[in-house]
């Protein structure tokens, strides 16, 4: 028995996740970024994470060239940033109204108002179905205050205060 695409999507909507913007800088493509919810830690020693990018995403071309990227975990105040980086607009438009700073190690854009930013170098790239799994070794991390932006059942969610 094969699981249908719609059934799989509906099942995965029951998995709550944080919302990130994966960004990169390369000489050929400039600054690029996209919204990603498939992100997790892999190892603490050495510090490694993974992200999954659709193989058709243009941000992947920049990461392929630069061999580095940043993961910016969005705050509950950044739904507009998530939507802006989710597609439909050019890379230039995605960064227009979003303050960012070039990472000190990789040069990848670090979103100034994100909850945290991790600068990573690519150590492995695996093709799986319609996506690339990128494993990155964390080179630098910045932590800021705030509450995370969550995604659950096809909509943004926020933590409830006790």
Residue-level pLDDT at 30: 95
What is residue 65's predicted lDDT score, i.e. its pLDDT?
A: 97
Angle at 154 between CA 150 and CA 159, to 5 degrees: 25
Q: Taking all residues of the chain, what is their mean pLDDT, rounded to a whole number? A: 94
Q: What local confidence, expressed as pLDDT, does residue 14 receive?
A: 78
Write out pLDDT tens, residues 94-125.
999 899 999 999 999 999 999 999 999 999 99
Under 8 Å between Cβ of 106 and 65: no
pLDDT of 144 reads: 96
Tens digits of residue pLDDT in 51-94 = 999 999 999 999 999 999 999 999 999 999 999 999 878 898 99
**How confident is the model at residue 87, as a pLDDT?**
80
Q: Which of 10-14, 27-31, 152-156 has the lowest mean pLDDT?
A: 10-14
Q: Structure tokens of 154?
A: 């096809």
Q: Dig out the tokens for 142 from the structure.
A: 């910045």
Q: Give the tens place of pLDDT for each residue, 123-138.
A: 999 999 999 999 999 9
Q: Looking at residues 24-52, what average pLDDT do you find?
A: 96
Q: What is the pLDDT of residue 162?
A: 57
Give the 3-state DSSP-derived string for 134-146, with helices as H, strands as E and coil as C: EEEEEEEEEECCC
Question: In whole angstroms, what is the distance from residue 162 CA to residue 151 CA?
Answer: 20
For residues 150-155, give the mean pLDDT: 90
Question: What structural domains does the chain harbor?
Answer: 19-154 (2.30.110.10)
Residue 1 has pLDDT above 80, yes or no: no
Q: Which of 108, 28, 41 is nearest to 72 (CA)?
A: 108
Residue 16 confidence (pLDDT)? 85
pLDDT at position 89: 83
């Amino acid at each position: 028995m094969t699981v249908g695409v719609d059934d799989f999507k509906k099942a995965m909507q029951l998995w709550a996740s944080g919302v990130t913007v994966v960004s990169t800088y390369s000489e050929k493509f400039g600054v690029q970024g996209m919204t990603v919810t498939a992100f997790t830690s892999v190892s603490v020693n050495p510090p490694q994470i993974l992200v999954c990018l659709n193989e058709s995403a243009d941000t992947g071309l920049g990461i392929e060239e630069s061999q580095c990227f940043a993961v910016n975990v969005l705050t509950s105040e950044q739904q507009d940033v998530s939507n802006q980086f989710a597609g439909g607009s050019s890379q230039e438009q995605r960064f227009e109204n979003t303050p960012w700073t070039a990472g000190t190690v990789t040069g990848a854009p670090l979103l100034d108002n994100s909850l945290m930013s991790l600068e990573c170098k690519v150590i492995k790239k695996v093709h799986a179905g319609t996506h690339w799994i990128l494993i990155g070794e964390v080179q630098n991390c910045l932590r800021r205050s705030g509450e995370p932006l969550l995604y659950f059942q096809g909509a943004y969610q926020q933590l409830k205060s006790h």
